[in-house]
Amino acid sequence: MIKFNMVKKIMPPTFFYLGIVLIILMHLIFPIKQIISYPYTFSGLLIILIGAILNIWAWSLFIKDNTTQNPYKTPNKFVLIGIYNISRNPMYLGMLIILIGIAILMGSLITFIFPIIFFVIINWFFIPMEEKNMEIKFGKKYSEYKNKVRRWI
């Protein structure tokens, strides 16, 4: 079992990039069962694009508000505009969508394991830590936001 202390030393994008590499490697080494065939695999490109746009949009709002994206640092404010009215974690959502898009592009069954693993790590390790920090820092204001806006979508 992965211990939180082990995971918390690694930044979330590391799991994202590792997921990309593992999806491609596992598809090339163990293409166990092709569940999406050509030309339908190319729909993965559109999904990757949607995830990338979502990620860039969410990231740009952090930059605009001049707050940290580092989950281990205490933010000076939390973003309430744009995509953050729909999802509390649009950057993670964008990363997950990109991983799903890459898995679709590869088309083999084994590649879909990695978006699931990414989701589990982010949802059960990183997001709870970030939410705890936000509740400590912003109190009732963040709790109200949390009740109004869903974690993912």
The alpha-helical segments, DSSP class H, found in the chain are 4-7, 12-29, 43-64, 90-106, 113-121, 127-138, 140-148
Q: Which of 6-10, 87-91, 110-114, 121-125 shows the lowest mean pLDDT across its residues?
A: 6-10
Per-residue confidence (pLDDT) for residue 72, from 0 to 100: 76
Q: Tokens standing for 134?
A: 């936000």
Query: What residue ranges do the domains of the chain occupy?
Result: 13-148
The yes-or-no verdict on residue 4 having pLDDT over 60 is no
Q: Tokens standing for 89?
A: 């974690």
Alpha carbons 153 and 14: distance in angstroms, whole number:
23
Beta strands in the chain (DSSP E): none
End-to-end distance of the chain based on CA atoms, in angstroms? 28
**pLDDT single digits (tens) 18-59:** 999 999 999 999 878 899 999 999 999 999 999 999 999 999
The yes-or-no verdict on residue 131 having pLDDT over 70 is yes
**% pLDDT > 70, the chain:** 95
Pick the CATH number of 13-148 from 3.30.70.270, 1.20.120.1630, 1.10.3720.10, 3.30.499.10: 1.20.120.1630
The yes-or-no verdict on residue 1 having pLDDT over 70 is no
Mean per-residue pLDDT over the chain, rounded = 91
- Model confidence band, residue 7 (pLDDT cutoffs 50, 70, 90): low
Average pLDDT over residues 129-153: 94
- Are the C-beta atoms of residues 129 and 70 closer than 8 Å to each other? no
The yes-or-no verdict on residue 89 having pLDDT over 70 is yes
Average pLDDT over residues 62-91: 86
Task: Note if the pTM is more than 0.85.
Answer: yes
Alpha carbons 11 and 119: distance in angstroms, whole number:
14
Q: Cis before residue 39, ω within 30 degrees of 0?
A: yes
Angle 18-19-21 from CA coordinates, rounded to 5°: 65
The yes-or-no verdict on residue 2 having pLDDT over 60 is no
| Helix-strand-coil split of the chain, %, nearest 5 | 70, 5, 25
